[in-house]
Amino acid sequence: MSPNVYSVDDIIVLKAGLTRTATGDRTCRVVGLLPAADRGEHQYRVRFDNENFERRIVASDIDASATATSAVKSEASRETPGGSWLKPSRMRIGK
């Protein structure tokens, strides 16, 4: 069985016990791919929505079964972006 390879912006679920709170949200987003570790495992940089820093994890830290069910839910509930955050009509120029 080949290991799952995730890409940037994929939503993954970490195994219980890797975060401080066992009952907390374990869902995070992949923000970067790193070179393989010594044992040949894929490495990822991930970020939780409520944190302002990134974590480095290896593929064995990912709960593959929970990630598969989470991916289906997130695709169904993903919002389409409404456009750019910059709106020229809202700019005010001082005279």
User: Where exactly are the structural domains of the chain?
Assistant: 11-77
Q: In degrees to the nearest 10, what's the CA dihedral of 40, 49, 65, 56?
A: 10
Q: Which H or E run includes 45?
A: strand 43-47
Separation of alpha carbons 63 and 11, rounded Å: 11
Question: What does the pLDDT look like over 60-88, one tens digit per residue?
Answer: 889 888 877 765 455 444 444 566 667 77
Q: Please, are residues 45 and 34 in contact by the beta-carbon 8 Å criterion?
A: yes
- pTM score over 0.75: no
